[in-house]
Amino acid sequence: MAMAVELPPGTRSTPAWGATVSPPRIVFEDQFLLVLVKPAGLVMHPACGHADGTFWDLLCELFAARGLPERPRLLHRLDSATSGLVCVPKTLPAHRRLERSLRLGRFSKGYLGLVTGRAPATGLLTAPLGRDLADRRRVCVRPDG
């Protein structure tokens, strides 16, 4: 006997990330913190043009599956084309402590870039970043920071 089920509008019948993206790999976890691998090509959080299927959606599913009472809170973001490690506090107090530590410079973020063409074999690139005036969705080097 076949049965049809009609879902209310806005209800997802599949996980937010779809069948082609697997849940993020956890590289560290304790009672306060998760460190996950964000793959390149995955948008960090819902925004214009990306209502769902984001890293944040994955975190919501992961938190729900683990019975965590808090909602995910992101300390930092990576561009959609960037892969890397993302620290996700599991509790509001952990988020507040890590946010304060980041603000006070007790830890920092680092990036490794790949360059095509001619570039020095080693070195440190330091330049002020800011929102691209021509495209708010992009970040670029800006003298005014």
Name the catalytic one among 30, 52, 57, 79: 79
**In whole angstroms, what is the distance from residue 109 CA to residue 10 CA?**
37
The Cα–Cα gap between 123 and 33 comes to 32
Q: What share of the chain is helix, strand, coil (3-state, %, to 5)?
A: 15, 15, 70
**Residue 57: active-site member:** no
CB 15 within 8 A of CB 59: no
Which one, of 54, 85, 57, lies nearest residue 72 by Cα? Answer: 57
Which active-site residues does the annotation give? 79
